[in-house]
Homo-oligomer: A and B are copies of this chain.
Amino acid sequence: MRTVTTLPELRTARLSLKGTVGLVPTMGYLHEGHLSLIRQARAECEHVVVSIFVNPTQFGPNEDLSKYPRDLERDLSLIEPLGVDFVWTPTAEVMYPTGYQTWVEVEAITRPLEGSMRPGHFKGVTTVVAKLFNGVQPHKAYFGQKDAQQQTVIRQMVRDLNFTLEVVVCPTVREADGLAMSSRNKYLEGENRQAALVLFHALSAAKDLYEKGEKSAEALRTKMKEIIEAEPHARMQYVSCADFDTLEELEQVKGKALLSMAVLIGKTRLIDNFILG
């Protein structure tokens, strides 16, 4: 399995692929969630490209860029058996050379939820994903439902900028006890690992309520809030019950909706979500 770093190397590798190409963009430190994306791409496309790049422009100044877990050797050994054509591992200098000055920005749907807590985050995400799309020119690109707003934002960008590719969103992969897989779970130690289940429990409780007939979005938000507040190691950042496409907070759940939340467990910021309807 080849790895390429520079844009000319990428270009040569890409030109050697005939037929459909699936791209799985990652920030590395791969877990079963990433691997499920790669497997789905492998099943649906003639060729699969994985990118590994911890994108500095999507981290805020007080976020965990420098501490974000990295282990390229381990990542490559996990990818190796999956039949990937090549892995693109650009450096920050390849992606953002001196004089770099172009940004892709999605407006309304980047403002609530993660956007409200992490100003500039989605500007970094959409910019780097546009660059990955243009560099790799995939027919399909694979993202996890775990990053619910991210996939909504990327689908909006693809539609708005006329990218001729299909965004495939794959279900969140969970640990046996329900914790959504995340590279940041590595930070969870001791009691925090158990406390982190509060996201799954709160989402499950709200979904139960909904399935029993509760259609008031505020009642669902309140339920999630109560459960998070009862966990001493947890600090809620937001809970949301929003329209699945616009991400606007709902009063009543009618069509497809998104239950989502961000919670600090100790110093570790976790997000999770369930889809309703």
Contacts and interface: CB of A to CB of B under 8 A. Distances in A.
Contact of A164 (B102, B130, B135, B156): B135
Contact of A103 (B7, B11, B105, B163): B105
Nearest to A130: B161
A138 B71 CA distance: 38
Interface of A: 7, 11, 100-109, 126-127, 130-131, 134-135, 137, 156-157, 160-164
Contacts of A157: 102
Contacts of A127: 161
B102 A103 contact: no
16 contacts: A11-B164, A101-B106, A101-B107, A101-B108, A101-B160, A102-B104, A102-B105, A102-B107, A102-B156, A102-B160, A103-B104, A103-B105, A103-B107, A104-B130, A130-B161, A134-B164
Contact of A131 (B11, B103, B131, B162): B162
Contacts of A162: 7, 131, 134-135
A25 to B, nearest CB: 13
A106 B137 CA distance: 22
The 5 closest A-B pairs by CB, nearest first: A102-B160, A101-B107, A134-B162, A135-B162, A131-B162
| Copies per assembly | 2
A58 to B, nearest CB: 16
Contacts of A134: 161-164
A100 B159 CA distance: 9
A104 B107 CA distance: 11
Nearest to A95: B162
Interface centre among A127, A131, A134 (most CB of B within 10 A): A134
Contacts of A161: 102, 104, 127, 130-131, 134
A100 B108 CA distance: 9
Nearest to A100: B160
A105 B123 CA distance: 11
A141 B108 CA distance: 31
A109 B100 CA distance: 11
Interface centre among A100, A126, A160, A164 (most CB of B within 10 A): A160
A149 to B, nearest CB: 14
